[in-house]
């Protein structure tokens, strides 16, 4: 089958150092978002969003104004805009996380934004405080842009999948802690507190994230040890027999170490119809969770989506 050129190659080995650096840069912006926005259930206030130019932290309130922070992966700039028509920017280029942090803080101060954030990265093993990190300093603009283009495609399809559900559902949003794009559906029932320990994440953070029963899906580039870009689906709490579900998506499998169904990103890229392949995977893994956990599907789904 011919490759669909709108889904870019994204081999982690080709840009792993850039990925690690960009992950930390997004965390700096994400922590500003936490500092400026009121808590929304499941930390939805903290997330970034995919746009036609990159990733954005939109409409954050500060002293009677709002602030947007934009990672522009077309012109490779970080842009800070305020509702009183002031703008600051800095180039996205190879630089240490500590330098990015200092340059970013200077631009905020020029705009009259004076805030303090916790400088320790989240959800990362052997983390170095942002203002002390001179280790992570790579930025490959070609692969940064490819990553964003992959997010554009994933977001587009995941938004179509989200539209089939009329129960409580998250936006399609980007979690900078785990560095993934995700959308989550809720059964409407509360869930038992998670018992497992999530490495490098406080228990109270996880308790807020998984306070209710969910079926969640997403995309991530494979950093953090996995090694390759993939789409993932999981359920919490995981119903009995979920991992044994037989899928029609031949390229997908259940990863027992992760406790998630995985569809390799490369399989989507190679497909003659990437949208159909990905939507089929998302739908059948959701159906498996919903059926095994006895969700009220008629009340939660648009009629045409039930199958």
Other Cβ atoms closer than 10 A to 247 = 17
How far is the C-alpha of 72 from the C-alpha of 38, rounded, in Å?
Answer: 25
Spatial contact of 87 and 113, defined as CB atoms under 8 Å apart: no
**Residue 3: predicted pLDDT:** 47
Q: Which residues of the chain are modeled with pLDDT < 70?
A: 1-5, 304-307
Other Cβ atoms closer than 10 A to 232 = 21
Residue 248, classed as helix, strand or coil, is: coil
Question: Pick from 153, 92, 109, 123: which is nearest to 30 by CA?
Answer: 123
Residue 276, classed as helix, strand or coil, is: helix
How far is the C-alpha of 289 from the C-alpha of 149, rounded, in Å?
Answer: 30
Residue extents of the structural domains in the chain: 12-132, 149-305
Question: Pick from 227, 260, 263, 69: which is nearest to 154 by CA?
Answer: 263
Q: Which two three-digit tokens encode residue 307?
A: 């199958």
Q: What's the angle, vertex CA 179, arms to CA 175 and CA 182, rounded to 5? A: 50
Spatial contact of 228 and 267, defined as CB atoms under 8 Å apart: no
DSSP notation for 155-213? HHHHHHHHTTB-SSB--SEEETTTTEEEEEEEEEEE-PPP-SPPTTS-HHHHHHHTSEE
pLDDT tens profile 244-293: 999 999 999 999 999 999 999 999 999 999 999 999 999 999 999 999 99
pLDDT tens profile 233-253: 999 999 999 999 999 999 999
Say which residues have a Cβ less than 8 Å from residue 53's Cβ, sequence separation at least 6.
70, 72, 73, 74, 75
How far is the C-alpha of 19 from the C-alpha of 164, rounded, in Å?
Answer: 32
Whether this prediction's pTM lies above 0.85 is answered by yes
Spatial contact of 140 and 18, defined as CB atoms under 8 Å apart: yes
Question: Pick from 16, 6, 3: which is nearest to 144 by CA?
Answer: 16
Question: Pick from 85, 100, 93, 50: which is nearest to 70 by CA?
Answer: 50
**Residue 304: predicted pLDDT:** 59
């Amino acid at each position: 089958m011919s490759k669909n050129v709108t889904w870019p190659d994204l081999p982690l080995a080709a840009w792993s150092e850039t990925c690690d650096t960009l992950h930390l840069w997004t965390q700096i912006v994400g922590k500003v978002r936490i500092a400026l926005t009121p808590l929304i259930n499941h930390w939805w206030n903290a997330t970034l969003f995919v746009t036609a130019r990159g990733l954005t932290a939109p409409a954050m309130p500060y002293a009677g104004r709002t602030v947007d922070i934009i990672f522009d992966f077309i012109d490779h700039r970080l842009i800070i805009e305020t509702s009183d028509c002031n703008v600051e920017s800095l180039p996205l280029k190879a630089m240490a996380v500590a330098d990015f942090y200092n340059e970013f803080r200077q631009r905020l101060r020029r705009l009259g934004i004076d805030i303090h954030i916790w400088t320790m990265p989240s959800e990362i093993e052997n983390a170095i405080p942002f203002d002390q990190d001179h280790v992570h300093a790579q930025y490959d603009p070609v692969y940064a842009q490819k990553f964003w283009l992959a997010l554009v495609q994933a977001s587009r399809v995941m938004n179509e999948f989200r539209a089939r559900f009329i129960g409580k559902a998250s936006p399609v949003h980007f979690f900078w802690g785990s560095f993934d794009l995700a959308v989550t559906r809720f059964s409407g029932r509360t869930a038992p507190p998670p018992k497992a320990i999530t490495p490098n994440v406080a228990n109270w953070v996880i308790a807020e994230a998984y306070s209710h029963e969910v079926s969640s899906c997403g995309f991530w580039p494979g950093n953090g040890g996995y090694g390759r870009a993939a789409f993932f689906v999981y359920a919490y709490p995981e119903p009995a027999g979920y991992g044994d579900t037989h899928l029609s998506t031949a390229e997908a499998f259940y990863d027992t170490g992760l406790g998630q169904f995985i569809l390799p990103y490369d399989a989507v890229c190679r497909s003659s119809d990437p949208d159909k392949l990905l939507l089929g995977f998302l739908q059948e893994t959701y159906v498996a969770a919903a059926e095994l956990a006895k969700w009220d599907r008629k009340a939660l789904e648009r009629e045409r989506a039930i199958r």
